[in-house]
Amino acid sequence: MLEARGVTVRFGGVAALTDVSLSVTAGQVTGLIGPNGAGKTTLFNVITGLQRPDRGEVRIDGSDVTRRGPHRRSRLGLARTFQRLELFGTLTAADNVRVGLEASAHHGHVIAPVSETAIGAAGDPALAVLERVGVGAVADAQVGSLPTGTARLVELARALSTGPRIILLDEPCSGLDDNETETLGALLGDLAAEGRAVLVVEHDMDLVLKVCDVVHVLDFGEVIASGTPLEIRADPIVQAAYLGRMDVPASADPDGHGAGPGRNGHGAPGVAPGGPGPVPGAPA
């Protein structure tokens, strides 16, 4: 359904992605893991059209979209969330979702974000979408004032509002508490069950191993392994590159990303504090 082939991106002399290929299938949750700076977000940017690759192509339903802008890819049924929140901060949570609902109202390639009955129960499509993600209570709050975890869920609701067939989630669990994380895991499964393709970048290994059907491991801009969660867990290369440095099973919130969105648009996103998290080290 979604396919990246031989994607290469260089920032100056640094290769952020080297010949990365992966595909995402409808009805499955695909995991993308790797240390900070491995190139996961860059790959998301390439897939959604925010970053043009130096080489390689992106295909949706077999057709090449590498040269198409992000809004045209979205109309083919692609949606995403951002690692560092990109909410419409001056709007309310409900209005954030409404922008997505209106944007997708007139084009095809849609799997409805919520059922008609849910809309009927909530009385308002935007509210229904927020409720599905579990944040119906903050519908009328300006999202700029929400705590990070809640804001992250609002962003998920907004991505969902366009009725995507392919949904890309960039660290959806950072900033969420254990209950919220569990709910989210169930939601990811449901989204796949509705026939959507879900691609998720996540550091919470418990979640990844539990909900993902397929996992790809990215390190220094290259895919070093792909397989089922169990295969990945057993793969010695992966252990050396990533899991091996993480002796403690990753049940705690793995790193400091949830601390809050960057306030000024720059700063190093990948600098994690010490602790049981995956070790940063790869260049940006």
Residue 31: which H helix or E strand, with range?
A: strand 29-33
CA distances from 205 to 128, 252, 253, 254, 269 (A): 30, 9, 10, 8, 20
Report if residue 142 touches another protein, rule: CB under 8 A. yes
Report if residue 40 touches another protein, rule: CB under 8 A. no
Candidates 1-9, 115-123, 131-139, 174-182: pick the segment binding another protein (CB under 8 A): 131-139
Report if residue 242 touches another protein, rule: CB under 8 A. no
Q: Rounded to an integer, what distance in angstroms lies between the CA atom of residue 24 and that of residue 1?
A: 6
Question: Of 151 and 241, which has the nearer Cβ to another protein?
Answer: 151
Minimum distance of another protein from residue 27's CB (angstroms):
22
For another protein, the binding residue among 40, 42, 56, 82 (CB under 8 A) is 82
Report if residue 177 touches another protein, rule: CB under 8 A. no
Q: Rounded to an integer, what distance in angstroms lies between the CA atom of residue 196 and that of residue 222?
A: 26
Is residue 159 packed enough to be buried (19+ CB in 10 Å), middle (13-18) or exposed (0-12)? buried
Three-state DSSP state, 126: helix
Report if residue 104 touches another protein, rule: CB under 8 A. yes
Output the six-digit token pair for 168: 């890309």
For another protein, the binding residue among 149, 227, 269, 276 (CB under 8 A) is 269
Question: Of 122 and 208, which has the nearer Cβ to another protein?
Answer: 122
Q: Which residue(s) pair with 15 in the sheet?
A: 10
Closest by CA to 31, choosing from 173, 236, 131, 150, is 173
Minimum distance of another protein from residue 32's CB (angstroms):
17
Closest by CA to 159, choosing from 48, 2, 62, is 48
Binding mask 143-172 for another protein (x = CB under 8 A): xxxxx--xx---x--xx-xx----------
Output the six-digit token pair for 115: 């059922």
Kindly provide the b/e burial profile for residues 179-200, where b requires at least 16 CB atoms within 10 angstroms of the residue's own CB.
Answer: ebbeebbebbbebbeeebbbbb
Output the six-digit token pair for 125: 């499509």
Q: What interhelical angle do 148-161 and 93-104 show, nearest 10?
A: 20
Minimum distance of another protein from residue 42's CB (angstroms):
11
Report if residue 257 touches another protein, rule: CB under 8 A. no
Binding mask 198-237 for another protein (x = CB under 8 A): ----------------------------------------
Report if residue 140 touches another protein, rule: CB under 8 A. yes
User: By rule CB under 8 A, what count of residues binds another protein?
Assistant: 61
Which positions touch another protein (CB under 8 A)?
45, 48-52, 69-72, 74-75, 78-80, 82, 84-92, 95-96, 98-100, 102-104, 107, 137-147, 150-151, 155, 158-159, 161-162, 261-269
